[in-house]
A and B are shown apart, each in its own frame.
Chain A
């Protein structure tokens, strides 16, 4: 006996409007939160935390972010360098700042993002190396701890 399908074939069309609305809202949310400016952050660095750490209110005219690992390697713009070999990089940064109108190296903000287990002596060596390039304004970056 042959069975006959009595059901008629119909295309079911759901209303996609709410789903599209939600998806666009999600995209807008992620687009607003995405932050391309922090490319200088090295993810492998675990910063020490502090309850008093306050994000800087004003962005300096020119900043150099140096990530320091416990073994003494500096990560700058994705490149690893030993502290003693930092001179050409720092001189290049000073020249680059001059081209952008920051003539005085003392006005260049050096932000040190050091791993929490790094010996402090290495941080001081890095500061001394920066001072050789006439940099004077230093900030130690820490992670904000919620009290």
Chain B
């Protein structure tokens, strides 16, 4: 017996509704899309006062004190390191990095160097961006090959007083 093949009928789907939804979705995602810069953190150590008092018998790590002084409009005026070196040139942040690097190199023992802390005493009205620059200067520097040389990872703030 011979089978007869019927003509295949072309089935047409109505795509209009799907395309409408798809375009609406696309518009939603385009409108809500924001290009956001990557963000990173600088960790700071701020133990409670009582804990510091308990650990008085523990050997204190090497401490570098950095004072950031503000000028007019909250701009940076100068940086004082360990109360004896005053930096007030345009390159003060690079100088701060150099001093910290020299101090760490002078430690000899790399383990001890990694324990070194920086305590910032910051003028109350100093703009935060200058503070971040100083933290960056003590935290490390970008070497010529593009890699990061880490310096001090332990940073703390001394209590700020209004009008300082």
- A34 lies within 8 A of B29 (CB): yes
- A47 lies within 8 A of B39 (CB): yes
Q: Which residues, 131 to 163 on B, are CB-close (under 8 Å) to A? A: 131-133, 135-136, 139-140, 142, 146, 148, 157, 159-160, 162
Cβ contacts A1-42/B at 8 Å (1 or 0 each): 000000000000000100010011011001101110010010
Closest chain-A Cβ to B118's Cβ sits at a distance in Å of: 14
- B129 lies within 8 A of A143 (CB): no
- A142 lies within 8 A of B39 (CB): yes
* Docked CA distance A142–B86 (Å): 27
Question: Given A38-B36, A120-B123, are A141 and B29 also a contact pair (CB < 8 Å)?
Answer: no
Chain B interface: which of A51-59, A75-83, A91-99? A51-59
With CB as the reference atom, state the residue of chain B lying closest to A38.
B36
- B43 lies within 8 A of A124 (CB): no
Q: Which residues of A contact B48 (CB under 8 A)?
A: 131, 134, 136
- A120 lies within 8 A of B127 (CB): yes
Chain A interface: which of B17-25, B57-65, B108-116? B17-25
Cβ contacts A106-147/B at 8 Å (1 or 0 each): 000001001111111101110110010010111111111001
- A54 lies within 8 A of B40 (CB): yes
B1 interface residue per 8 A CB criterion: no
Question: Given A30-B33, A118-B127, are A142 and B22 also a contact pair (CB < 8 Å)?
Answer: no
* Docked CA distance A50–B135 (Å): 10
Q: Which residues of A contact B102 (CB under 8 A)?
A: none
- B19 lies within 8 A of A123 (CB): no
Interface SS of chain B = mixed
Residue among A117, A121, A142 making CB contact with B40, cutoff 8 Å? A142
With CB as the reference atom, state the residue of chain A lying closest to B25.
A27
* Docked CA distance A47–B127 (Å): 12
Q: Which residues of B contact A120 (CB under 8 A)?
A: 68, 122-128, 130-131, 160
Q: Which residues of A contact B5 (CB under 8 A)?
A: none
B47 interface residue per 8 A CB criterion: yes
Q: Which residues of A contact B25 (CB under 8 A)?
A: 27
- B157 lies within 8 A of A127 (CB): yes
Q: Which residues of B contact A24 (CB under 8 A)?
A: 22
Closest chain-A Cβ to B127's Cβ sits at a distance in Å of: 5
Which of B39, B46, B128 is the most central at the interface, judged by chain A CB atoms within 10 Å of its CB? B128
Chain B interfacial positions (CB closer than 8 Å to A): 15, 18-19, 22-23, 25-26, 29-30, 32-33, 36-48, 68, 74, 122-133, 135-136, 139-140, 142, 146, 148, 157, 159-160, 162, 164
- Give me 27 A-to-B residue pairs in the complex whose CB atoms sit less than 8 angstroms apart, sorted by A's number: A20-B19, A26-B26, A27-B22, A27-B25, A30-B26, A38-B36, A48-B129, A50-B40, A51-B142, A52-B142, A115-B128, A117-B129, A118-B127, A118-B128, A120-B125, A121-B124, A123-B131, A124-B160, A131-B46, A140-B44, A140-B132, A141-B41, A142-B40, A142-B132, A144-B39, A144-B40, A147-B142
